[in-house]
Chains A and B, each alone.
Chain A
Amino acid sequence: MDVLYTPRIDDPDGFYAELLDAHEGLKEAESHALNARLVLVLSNVVGDRNVLRASLALAKKAGSSGR
């Protein structure tokens, strides 16, 4: 699934900074909650169930592989 394995974000450093900024000053629980809301918002943007399923699998796999 190309969309999962192709860089697509404009100005990646800028995005990364905005992501961290969004969490600035939040307690850990608040950060987790923000992430959860973000997952839901972005999932709706993606919409396609196949892409969502593959995204879940990729995220899960990346977290379980050896470093």
Chain B
Amino acid sequence: MVDVRYETAFTLYPYQRSEDQDVDAPVRHPVVIVGGGPVGMAMALDLGQKGVPCVVLDDHDGVGVGSRAICFAKRTLEICDRLGAGDPMVDLGVVWNVGKVFREDRQIYDFNLLPEEGHKRPAFINLQQPYFEKFLVERIRVAQAEGAPIEIRGKNAVLSVESHADHVLLEVGSPDGPYKIESNYLIACDGARSPVRGMLGHDFTGRIFEDNFLICDVKMEAEFPTERWFWFDPPFNPGQSVLLHKQPDDIWRIDFQLGWDIDREAVVQPEYYMPKVQAMLGEGVEFEPEWVSVYTFQCMSMDQYRYGPVFFAGDSAHQVSPFGARGCNGGMQDVDNLAWKLAAVYHGEADARLLDTYNEERKHGADENILNSSRTTDFMTPKTAIAKLFRESVLDLVEHTNAMRPLVNSGRLSLPCVYDGSSLNGPDDNRMPVRTRVGSTLVDAPVNGGWLMDQVGNYFIVLAVNCEIQIEGLQVLRLDADPMVTERYLGDLLQAVYLIRPDQIIAARWEIASAADVISALQVAKGG
């Protein structure tokens, strides 16, 4: 039997007996993904659409209840676009630009994150995680109908893992009893408490912050504006912070900071949180609690994200505190990074050593996410008297001078890391714009009657900016040097050639390149 760990919001892949359960010798698969959360499903979608057969094992048969991750950053939306799943997310998601910061009983400032022009997607949307996962699974169903070799097995729980040099042997529990399968590669997307990580005995270490937060998602049809409101030390939660923002379906996320010494059972009882929420929203405002949960801030990571045939992606590999939206967004970048590499190796287009760069690049990304997330937490939860003094000093000053606003850290916009120094990077030219340096994510722009991001991705491609180049076996996209393309891709130069990876990362760039230059950089970008 398979334990039920949580209630599901949508049943999407009920248990079906697999042929693998009716044979004596374990069937060998190219890739098995453990965990059907956002990272596991996106990984399956990316691999499947690249022709890599993969099996997803999920111990449930659908998407768990509870909003959980609610903030999906622009980079994540671009990845979802590349996977064909972006539109329903953005159509339903809530976009906000105005934020207000309060202290005690007064507003101390507001800000408008005016989006930069020339991007298909907003800086981020708010959307409940169950929708995000559901849209990914719906896209998988479409891809399957088009022939993508993806199989999702609901109510299949990994019971044991044996890792060998070139494959893993899994024992899988199902409603019909246990069975065994083998896989050339295993991708553990099984969350922060990763059973696979535990079974293989790998460490997960880092910092636990001495603070707890209570999440109350409430449904209300009040006339609150679609803005992000953040309070330091409000009357309805003295000495602590509170965050309010909006999700679709008239659901509002409220995060109450609680401090360290709390009764975790007591705070999730209506007697505790209902009066708190009411005091915050105001007398007479009607609301219904939708999902209530308590959590402790943690920043944890594995030493490595690859051990032989086993890869770890998303929260199983690294966990960050949630302010700053770098958990699920970071996990989606793991998918972005690993899927094309695994596909290139599977199809014999790259040597298996390319796979080692997953650890190199994503460790770099996770370190940056943990750093940012820890800094936010240190501002919100000062650990010493002097840290508290400086935090209060910043807040004292910010009412008198805008100069202090940048120091107020109630969560930073989640941005993808730049793979500076990656072993896959080719030549760069520092006369060109810094934001499009080698190792960066491509910057969107309106080009050729559409969006650049929609014209690039899933395979290596060359951008010929205001020039011509032909390279055998490589697609070339020509861009005219309009003002936006010039600002983002040329700087003071008149022309440029960019080599772009399948994950829309800039692999190399030149003012003038020969076909041989590009082919050489392509070899480097494929792991040499």
Interface of A with B (CB < 8 Å)? 32-33, 36-37, 39-41, 44
Contact = CB atoms under 8 A, between A and B. Distances in A.
B404 interface: yes
A33 B407 contact: no
B397 interface: yes
Contacts of B10: none
Residue among A37, A39, A41 with the highest chain B CB neighbour number at 10 A: A37
B392 A33 contact: yes
A32 B386 CA distance: 9
A36 B393 contact: yes
Contacts of B394: 40
Nearest to A41: B397
Interface string B299-339: 00000000000000000000000000000000000000000
24 contacts: A32-B389, A33-B389, A33-B392, A33-B393, A33-B396, A36-B389, A36-B390, A36-B393, A37-B393, A37-B396, A37-B397, A39-B390, A39-B393, A40-B390, A40-B393, A40-B394, A40-B397, A40-B404, A40-B407, A41-B397, A41-B401, A41-B403, A44-B403, A44-B404
A9 B390 CA distance: 26
A61 to B, nearest CB: 19
A36 B391 CA distance: 9
Contacts of A39: 390, 393
A37 B394 CA distance: 7
Nearest to B406: A44
B396 to A, nearest CB: 6
Interface string B389-422: 1101110110001011001000000000000000
A41 B397 CA distance: 8
Given A33-B396, A36-B389, 14 more contacts: A33-B389, A33-B392, A33-B393, A36-B390, A37-B397, A39-B393, A40-B390, A40-B393, A40-B397, A40-B404, A41-B401, A41-B403, A44-B403, A44-B404
Contacts of B397: 37, 40-41
Contacts of B403: 41, 44
Nearest to A37: B393
Contacts of B392: 33
A40 B407 CA distance: 9
A39 B390 CA distance: 9
A5 to B, nearest CB: 26
The 3 closest A-B pairs by CB, nearest first: A36-B393, A37-B393, A44-B403
A36 B382 CA distance: 15
Contacts of B407: 40
A36 B397 CA distance: 10
Contacts of A40: 390, 393-394, 397, 404, 407
Contacts of B393: 33, 36-37, 39-40
B58 to A, nearest CB: 47
Interface string B360-403: 00000000000000000000000000000110111011000101
Contacts of B389: 32-33, 36
A33 B396 CA distance: 10
A40 B390 CA distance: 8
Contacts of A36: 389-390, 393
Residue among B393, B396, B404 with the highest chain A CB neighbour number at 10 A: B393
A40 B389 CA distance: 11
A49 to B, nearest CB: 13
Nearest to B389: A36
Nearest to A34: B393
A41 B396 CA distance: 11
A67 to B, nearest CB: 23
Nearest to B407: A40
A36 B394 CA distance: 9
Contacts of B390: 36, 39-40
Contacts of A33: 389, 392-393, 396
Contacts of B396: 33, 37
A56 to B, nearest CB: 13
B428 to A, nearest CB: 24
Contacts of A32: 389
Contacts of A41: 397, 401, 403
B112 to A, nearest CB: 22
B388 to A, nearest CB: 10
A33 B389 CA distance: 6
Contacts of B401: 41
B3 to A, nearest CB: 52
A39 B393 CA distance: 10
A6 B211 CA distance: 45
A44 B390 CA distance: 14
Nearest to A47: B403
Nearest to B385: A32
A27 to B, nearest CB: 14
Interface string B448-475: 0000000000000000000000000000
A44 B397 CA distance: 12
A54 B340 CA distance: 44
Contacts of B404: 40, 44
Contacts of A37: 393, 396-397
A33 B403 CA distance: 18
A41 B404 CA distance: 8
A37 B392 CA distance: 9
